[in-house]
Structure 1
Amino acid sequence: MLHRNLTVLSVGFRKFLLAQFRVHTEKRWTSSGASIEKDLSYFSHPGRQPLLEMTVGQLFQESAERWPQRECIISMHQNVRLTFSDVLSRVDKLAAGFKKLGLKKGDRIGIWAPNDYQWYLSFVAATRAGIIMVGINPAYQKDEIEYCIQKVGVKAIVCPESSKRQNYAKVLLDIKQRCPTLDHIIVYSQDHVRGTRRFSDVEALASDIEVEAIGKEQSDISPGAGCNIQFTSGTTGKPKAVLLGHKSFVNNSKQAAERTELLSGQQKICLNVPFFHAFGMVQAQLASLHAGSTMVIASPFFNPVTSIETIIREKCTVTFGTPTMWVNLIDVQHRLSAPVETLFSGVIGGSPASPQLFKRIQEHLRLNNMKSIYGLTETCAIIFQSLPGELKEFTENTVGHVSDHIEALVVDDKGSPVAFGHPGELWVRGYTSMIGYWNDEENTRKTITEDGWLKTGDQFILEKNGYGRIVGRLKDMLIRGGENIFPKEVEHFLESHPGIVEAHAFGVYDDVYGEEICACIRTRNGVKLTADDVKAYGRGRVAHFKIPRYIVFVDQLPKTASGKIQKFKLREEVEAKGLVPSKPK
């Protein structure tokens, strides 16, 4: 396993490196007469405050001491309300229970569960015990969960007995014999499940002295140590296991709290995004600790009706979501015309949003204070985000401004910097970068350069003011007759149509052009459109080769648990129905 401490270089040393970089590329970039110093697509945002040297467990204890009687977490579907003091008491008991089971610092404990309050307790308890928490998608099936356990050597796993159509305990008991590291299955259930341990029993396992020792041992855990493993989406090959550290989480969440304006007053957050995802961990669970905010779990899995009802009932002031989640909230609000009056701000992330979506949020939810965020699992969530009080044109047309203590660089396919305003691959460097891929030195080296630049794989445009725009994922780019086309650009022009709610574009096989564009479109309720209507709308607005040849109207879209659209499933569906040609075998 490659353990690499990625530190932000001193300002002087950064300038030296960039000077050498500019000398190396001078002939290429001065041929146009432009100044390299002025036009190099590089931006460094050092920040006004130093980075915190603190663990997640210490951050939670500090929050509990500041706001002991303030509600920390509310689970609507479980009818549970816990204060910060309640949570600290329970997580230390649980942390001591984990240690009593034989778990040690650096061991891995998995959480395979939907958004239940036990997920949150388990995560904080793991950080307090120095154990690395492994977040696992609750939608994963048997083969996927077995891969995760074996990949990182999970020693214990926390789960509900069952949820939806998934019997978690049964699946884990079935694969336990094939997973030699898995010693303990911890189930939160009133009834005992043979072969497992009850969550409540683990909480009660340690003595008072052992529980008190947890608080005294916090300084023994290094802020530079790993505290979480996230699995990538795995769109190509098996998911990679991303190891992230305490310091990254603490500081990234502090920045999120500041820029989301959680610090402006006591906020109540309606949580739509899943706990296991980096978005939910940093922007919700941890950012709330810096501000004393209350997290409200509307439902175990995202349900837009329940979320709207929860916002009204609990008078929530903040809510988060991916673009698809926001579209669903708008749909529900459009039908119900519910009195959503308490929302102060909203955050959108997970994938780029179109300007039209921001306008619809304002129209239907009367929410003017929207924030954009952008990041990757490998960057501990957020590396670009909106600034408080910024102009709407920045919020609606960019993914935000470079975060504090982060350097951003946009390069061409040879690794040389492009000019500001020109597309290229985004590289970033700073405290947010992952420690590495677990037991995968080869892919770690491919992703992080020798001097600490993390390659995002995103085609990106960086402006001189520090704001940026995503053009698309490099791997999603399609080539039609020699023309490079990014699906995101196609989707944005389609979503500007007043009758279209969502559009998702991707490449399909063509024997003449190599690839053609297919767009799956969901229209507003009651709106009738034809493929010819959509194509006519595109003429004069975008180049002819960006107008989709194949247009499929859909009522539902396949999504991941984190709310992202699964385009590979869309492609499989339209190919299986014969709506588009399939690549010859």
Structure 2
Amino acid sequence: MPDFSGPVTLGHALAAQAEERPADVALRFGDRVTSYAEYDRHATQIANGLAALGFEKGDRIAYLGKNSDHAVELFLGTVRGGFVFVPVIWRLAPAEIEFITRDAGATVLFVEEGFESVPFEGRKIVMEREFANWRDAQSEDLVDTDVAVGDAMLQLYTSGTTGLPKGVVLSHANATSMRPILRASGLDWASADPGTSIILAMPYGHIAGVGLAGGAVLAGQQLIIHAEFDPAATIRDIRDHRVEYIFLVPAAIRIVLSHPDAATADFSSIKGLNYGASPIPLDLLKEGVERLKCDFAQMYGMTETYGTVVSLPPEDHKPGREKVMRSAGKALPGNEIRILDENLQPLPPGEIGEVAIKSPSNMIGYWNRPEETAKTLIGDGWLRTGDAGILDEDGYLYIQDRIKDMIISGGENVYPAEVESALFGHDDVADVAVIGVPDEKWGEAVKAIVVARPGCEPDADAIIAHARERIAAFKCPKSVEFVEALPRNPSGKILRRELRARYWEGQERGVN
């Protein structure tokens, strides 16, 4: 004890780690260090403090701010008390934040200093100014609320790229079911050993942020917390604390490798780098594997699946495995994948359709959205992802794009992510987005919006020719536009809808 033989509550997991390794460092945030014994005690005090404020099991507790040790403690204290934690992305506009807190029904907002002015009708507790004193004044008596593994404990809001964000409700079992399965299957690279360290640098309002915090508790790891992603701090802490594991999105990997400090950095302690959240260009992946010399693993999943359900393991990142490097990997043990047609019937290998996942990590549902829930959770444990993909004969999943982003040109389906991957390898391309624009002959034409590398004088024809060497001609851009930067939402996803808007202005539909 631990490891755990099956799903547990996160509060149970933290108590077990505190008993097993009370003096071990659990949280490191700048100069502030918290042991597992202190972490456990603080979680109990927070749970009791929320109960003293009048909150009852299932009530929503909201947090607005960047990553911090106090924010992580708030998460564990909230769920230990049977409440539901609602972390809000700090980069959102005030109107978006107000919508989320209202939609969740939160009447208390723990808020980082600097964000106090956001509209909120309930009580605000400012983290650095008030939180520690409030926490330390609470009872250390054991929490007597009966919290079960199937209870809701986390509510994350989707990005809202196509409308108002939806609250994804996740349970303790969603968070804790996979580790025992992975450990029993011998997949140590996907389930780190106790006592190892990991950096939390991804935003806390995403599953890659708050989910990683929960995963560190299950593993008994030291969680090194960065307020936000900072390549210099990442490189420094890897060196200073001999960090073994890290999760980065592909854009962050590129930023780390391009940072001046990376040329002389000591990455030798890194055992595993997990990446995900968006497709990774093959050239960037090869560069990362060569320079960091650690195990790389791709993680595919979504908020609705509590993160990773499909993974490309380290052995598939070796020379000679370039074909499968373009895939998201295979279903992890305990998970199943299907590709569905428009009638939600399974398709054979090699056919493009919608990816569906059957997993113990699948969400409870969308908060107060029964119709949306019914469209996504389609029975017998299956969840529609909204991603277009292909399964090959060996079970590798190739994500083509979001179904809604597909371009239809001359009757052919074109998935922007595939085209973007082909364009990323060009020396003059720093960033790229591909969209469909109206075309009288073909219905839609493929257009590339490119951010050039500094100091380059990019040539549109050369970039298109580069793509023609790598993908079918009908998928290649018919035109290229150069811009200073691409619009992205707070989670870093490209806002293709915003890029498309001016080209489709005056059209009756957003397709042609």
Q: TM-score, normalised to structure 2's length?
A: 0.91
8 Å CA contact 2:169, 2:365 repeated in 1? yes
The amino acid across from 1:142 in the alignment is: P
- Structure scoring higher RCO (CA < 8 A, sep ≥ 6) equals 1
Is 1:202–2:157 an aligned residue pair? Answer: no
The amino acid across from 1:61 in the alignment is: A
Moved more, 122-131 or 251-260: 251-260
8 Å CA contact 1:103, 1:155 repeated in 2? no
1:63 Cα offset (Å): 1.5
Is 1:286–2:210 an aligned residue pair? Answer: no
8 Å CA contact 1:371, 1:395 repeated in 2? no
Which runs of 5 or more residues in structure 1 are unaligned? 1-48, 163-167, 177-181, 191-197
Is 1:459–2:388 an aligned residue pair? Answer: yes
Structure 1 equivalent of residue 14 of structure 2: 60
Is 1:248–2:174 an aligned residue pair? Answer: yes
The amino acid across from 1:297 in the alignment is: I
8 Å CA contact 2:193, 2:221 repeated in 1? no
Structure 2 equivalent of residue 119 of structure 1: 71
The amino acid across from 1:126 in the alignment is: T
- After TM superposition, the structure 1 = structure 2 runs for residues 184-583 of structure 1, keeping only pairs within 5 Å, are 184-190=123-129, 198-207=130-139, 211-214=140-143, 217=144, 220-252=146-178, 258-264=187-193, 266-282=195-211, 284-298=212-226, 300-333=227-260, 336-363=263-290, 365-387=291-313, 389-390=315-316, 392=318, 393=321, 396-571=325-500, 575=502, 582-583=505-506
The amino acid across from 1:384 in the alignment is: V
8 Å CA contact 2:200, 2:213 repeated in 1? no
8 Å CA contact 1:410, 1:461 repeated in 2? yes
1:374 Cα offset (Å): 0.5
1:289 Cα offset (Å): 2.2
The amino acid across from 1:96 in the alignment is: N
Name which one, 1 or 2, has greater alpha-carbon Rg: 1
Is 1:80–2:32 an aligned residue pair? Answer: yes
Instruction: Tell me the number of residue pairs that the alignment of Structure 1 and Structure 2 aligns.
Output: 500
Alpha-carbon deviations, 1:470-526, whole Å to 9, x = none? 011101101123221100110111123344343321222334433222223344454
Moved more, 486-495 or 446-455: 446-455
Superposition RMSD in Å: 2.4
Query: Residue 259 of structure 2: SS of its match in structure 1?
Result: helix
1:351 Cα offset (Å): 1.3
1:155 Cα offset (Å): 2.3
Structure 1 residues 314, 398: CA separation in 2 closer, same or farther (over 3 Å shift)? same
8 Å CA contact 1:427, 1:454 repeated in 2? yes
Moved more, 86-95 or 285-294: 285-294
Structure 1 residues 125, 312: CA separation in 2 closer, same or farther (over 3 Å shift)? same
8 Å CA contact 1:254, 1:290 repeated in 2? no
Structure 1 residues 187, 423: CA separation in 2 closer, same or farther (over 3 Å shift)? same
Which runs of 5 or more residues in structure 2 are unaligned? none
Give, in whole Å, the separation in 1 of the partners of 2:449 and 2:266: 32
8 Å CA contact 2:305, 2:362 repeated in 1? yes
8 Å CA contact 2:296, 2:313 repeated in 1? no
Alpha-carbon deviations, 1:70-111, whole Å to 9, x = none? 1111112xx211111121111211111111111111111011
Query: Residue 372 of structure 1: SS of its match in structure 2?
Result: strand
8 Å CA contact 1:322, 1:563 repeated in 2? no
1:202 Cα offset (Å): 2.5
The amino acid across from 2:116 in the alignment is: A
8 Å CA contact 1:370, 1:395 repeated in 2? no
Give, in whole Å, the separation in 2 of the partners of 1:293 and 1:493: 38
Give, in whole Å, the separation in 1 of the partners of 2:39 and 2:117: 29
8 Å CA contact 1:255, 1:403 repeated in 2? no
